[in-house]
Amino acid sequence: MKYLDAIKAVNNSTFSFLADGNIRIDNASIIFKNFAGKPTNLNPAGGKRTFNLCLSPEFADRLKSSGWNIKVRELDDGERLFYTEIVVNDQSSYPPKIYKLSEFMGKKSMVLMTPDQYFKLDQDNLVNIDMDIHPYTHNRGFEGATKGYLKNMWASVESVNDFGGKYADYQLVEA
């Protein structure tokens, strides 16, 4: 997703604090997806699954005042993109539940993904994302010590009608 598209998409997002301290985002906008945990400049050894959640300026201010590490990217046209990194920790005692939703020829499906399937989200065009984030404050004694960990996510994939459903009636059989 391009930065300007991410800023526009944030206008359709709803951010709320839940009674249990978690955060809910409806129609989230995300950038820098790395659900596969591939090595990157900031994650040279790889293995760390992350994405960046785009925030409204108001919600970014609220999180920053609560000790979150909020990043700001100044764009050439004067717009500012606020975002924070979210960790997808599938190694914890409470791994996230990630549901992938798709539709093909009127048939809707929802799959609870396993960690070995997360990489597919890096390739998919996600058109709607709802999620719950669990904040965790690291005891490091510096500003920005609170980090978000994905708790639940429902990700709708763009509907693709390759060949107009020509092969929709065939059953897929594993070889």
Cβ count near 3 (within 10 Å): 17
Mean pLDDT of the chain: 88
Judged against a pLDDT cut of 70, whether residue 160 lies above it is answered with: no
CA distance 68 to 41: 22
Quick one: pLDDT at residue 35?
95
| Domain-located, residue 56 | yes
Judged against a pLDDT cut of 70, whether residue 117 lies above it is answered with: yes
| Domain-located, residue 17 | yes
Q: Which of 153, 151, 140 is nearest to 69 (CA)?
A: 140
Please classify residue 65 by burial: count the beta carbons closer than 10 Å to its beta carbon, then call 0-12 exposed, 13-18 middle and 19+ buried: exposed
Mean pLDDT of 16-38: 95
Give the bridge partners for 112, in sequence order.
Answer: 99
| Domain-located, residue 164 | no
Judged against a pLDDT cut of 80, whether residue 126 lies above it is answered with: yes
Judged against a pLDDT cut of 70, whether residue 165 lies above it is answered with: no
| Domain-located, residue 175 | no
The three-state (H, E, C) secondary structure of the chain, written as one string: CCHHHHHHHHCCCEEEECCCCCEEEECCCEEEEECCCCCCCCCCCCCCCEEEEEECHHHHHHHHHCCECCEEEECCCCCEEEEEEEECCCCCCCCCEEEEEEEECCEEEEEECCHHHCCHHHHCCEEEEEEEEEEEECCCCCCCCEEEEEEEEEEEECCCCHHHHCCCCCCCCCC
Quick one: pLDDT at residue 164?
55
Quick one: pLDDT at residue 139?
75
Quick one: pLDDT at residue 145?
80
What band does 25 get if pLDDT is binned at 50, 70 and 90? Answer: very high
What residues make up the domain containing 14? 3-92+130-150
Judged against a pLDDT cut of 90, whether residue 152 lies above it is answered with: yes
**pLDDT tens digits, residue range 40-58?**
887 888 889 999 999 999 9
| Domain-located, residue 31 | yes
Judged against a pLDDT cut of 90, whether residue 162 lies above it is answered with: no
Q: Which of 2, 166, 153, 3 is nearest to 79 (CA)?
A: 3
Quick one: pLDDT at residue 104?
76
Give the bridge partners for 146, in sequence order.
Answer: 68, 137
Quick one: pLDDT at residue 26?
97
- Give the total number of structural domains in the chain: 1
| Domain-located, residue 115 | no
| Domain-located, residue 141 | yes
| Domain-located, residue 108 | no
Quick one: pLDDT at residue 76?
83
Quick one: pLDDT at residue 14?
95
